Amino acid sequence: MVIRKMTATFGCLDGAVLELRDGVNMLRLPNEGGKSTWAAFLCAMFYGLDPTRAGKGRLSGKERYLPWNGKPMEGTLELELQGRTIVLQRSSESGKPFGVFRAWDKTTGAAIDSLNGENCGRQLLGVEREVFRRTAFLSGEDLTVTREIDLTRRLEQLAAAGRETDSFLEAENRLRAWQNKLRYHRSGEIPAAKERLDELLLQREKEPPFVEGLPDLKTLLRLQLRLEMTANMHKAPPALQGVPEEKIMAKAKRDLFLYKLQVFGGFTLSAVLMVLGQIYSQWLLLGALWAAVVGAWPLLSQRLLRTYHAPQMFSVLTVAAACLEACQLRRELPLVMDLVREFAPLAETVEQASGAVREAIERRKQAERMERVSPEEIEALRAKIRELERREQAIVLARQALAKANGELRDTYVPKLTSLAGEYLQVLTMGRYESLVMDESLQLSVREQKGMLRPLSALSAGARDQAWLALRLAMTQLLLPKGSFLVLDDALLTFDPRRELLALELLENLERQVLCFSCR
């Protein structure tokens, strides 16, 4: 594949055109001349805009490369592939930058239906976006800040299946998280289930409270209510003492009627006396009689209230009803006491009977709580524990198999990678370092001609970048299809002039098209 021409309205690029040739294309542009923008545009034409969302101090792809001239984001790319000239076009529509994709044959003008905005990069370059960016898309920033821990993740991911989602490291982390969820101290599902099972077994083994011979809980609650009512019932008022139960309400109604009759008669007599006093002018005698009548009425009222222990006249019937209910309770009390003595024979008084009933209710409730621990519940919990342990064993076996497969893969892949990277490193360093060494934990070191092994972190910044470049080029050769292009964005900044020339010669010999953006 050879890219021939790119036209971009993208970020700082305003309808800019870039024409390319086979081999190494040295594209020297000043700072803010659009080097990184062209590199990002090229990646976006194949894979779409970077899906990374905006974050603290970071813009999303559509925000970062919004055209400065205010025009819609758009661009075209012409490439040669297997004797055909293919044109890729992306444009913006309905507020979606680069949301419209077209591909056609430049010679015939026929649309290429097999390509779309989602699969274009995979179809033409043979890899996912992230694999392309980790291998064929090299920038000086990546070379200088990449750490060995990042290399471990990248190598394992890229070597596993060519895409990050199926990497050994992520699969191992996911399996370990599942195993921790099942068994992690006391918070795991298995320890929690076993602890609950022990609680149920202990509760079931406890000596149950004595409930034999006790009435059921509903009967006990009714007995408790009757005893409380009996304990709280009042003594009969003086007006109703000695009155038979069946005559209590009748007497109260009669007394209330007589009181009302007396009040009515007193008012009537007072009115007559006032009229006679006006007629016969016997003011003194009649006034005295009227005062006597009016004064007698409150006395009659207070007397009736005292005899009934009532706060007001309207409460007389209420007091009588309460007295009647108390009589009924007294009549039923022997029966209630007999029922209590059936399970508490020592209860002699109402207070003793109430205490015995309260204790029986508590025993019944405690027994019911224990009865909730059914054999079915215990067996279901044991079955759950067995299933969780089988699941844990499956995860353990999966982790072992995964580690074995990863070891075998590493044993076959890593030697190929380090061997090819070592050849590149010899060229880049003029033979000073003869090989690149990767240990079992994928930590990088370099071996000098004299045999001295040095960790990568002990080298100068330029030598480290040359080792990284050698490794990335080796990954490109192993993972990317032949004929795919490379993009270098200021990837040679730390190289001295001689090693930079060696790097360009090495790139020329790779038989790939290379776009080398540089500010020098």
77, β-bridge pairs: 6, 88
- pLDDT score recorded for residue 46: 92
- Contact of 10 with 69, CB cutoff 8 Å: no
Cα–Cα distance, 500 to 491 (Å, whole number):
10
One-letter amino acid at 254 equals R
Contacts by 303-311 with C-beta closer than 8 Å and gap 24+?
Answer: 304/239, 304/255, 304/256, 304/259, 306/238, 307/237, 307/238, 307/239, 307/255, 308/237, 308/239, 308/240, 308/252, 308/255, 309/234, 309/237, 309/238, 310/237
For residues 86 and 112, what is the distance between their CA atoms, to the nearest angstrom? 9
pLDDT of residue 269: 60
pLDDT tens string for the chain (520 positions)? 899 999 999 999 999 999 999 988 988 888 878 888 998 899 999 999 888 777 777 788 788 888 988 899 999 999 998 889 999 999 998 878 888 999 999 999 999 999 998 899 988 988 888 878 877 887 765 554 344 444 445 455 544 443 334 466 677 888 888 888 888 767 788 888 888 888 888 777 665 666 777 888 888 888 887 777 676 665 667 777 777 767 777 877 877 777 777 666 655 666 665 666 656 555 545 555 555 555 455 555 566 667 766 666 667 777 777 776 777 777 777 888 888 888 888 888 888 888 888 888 888 887 776 656 677 888 898 999 999 989 889 988 888 888 887 777 667 777 888 888 889 988 888 888 888 887 666 677 888 877 788 888 888 888 888 888 888 888 888 878 887 888 888 888 888 889 888 988 898 888 888 998 887 7
In angstroms, the CA 226 to CA 328 distance is 11
Terminal CA-CA length for the chain: 27
Closest-CA residue to 36 (of 56, 8, 71, 78): 8
Residue 269: Cβ-neighbour burial (10 angstroms; 0-12, 13-18, 19+): middle
pLDDT at 163: 39
Residue 185 three-state SS: coil
Contacts of 458 (CB under 8 A, 6+ apart): none
Distance CA 271, CA 284 (A): 16
- Looking at residue 161, what is its pLDDT? 40
**CB contact at 8 A, 237 and 319:** yes
For 112-164, what is the HEC assignment? Answer: CCCCCCCCHHHHHHCCCHHHHHHHCEEEHHHHHHCCHHHHHHHHHHHHHHCCH
Tell me which DSSP letter residue 85 carries.
Answer: E
Burial class (CB in 10 A: 0-12, 13-18, 19+), 379: exposed
Report how far residue 321's alpha carbon sits from residue 355's, in angstroms, rounded to the nearest whole number.
Answer: 28
- On whether the CB atoms of residues 143 and 459 are closer than 8 A, the answer is no
**Other Cβ atoms closer than 10 A to 216:** 9
In angstroms, rounded to a whole number, what is the distance separating the alpha carbons of residues 427 and 502?
7
Order of strands across the sheet that contains 433-438: 433-438, 444-448, 453-455
Contact 34, 12 (CB under 8 A): yes
> Which residues have CB under 8 Å from 192's CB, separation 6+?
186
What is the model's pLDDT at position 274?
61
State the Cα torsion 384-390-394-397 to the nearest 10°.
140
**Cα separation, 107 vs 468, whole angstroms:** 41
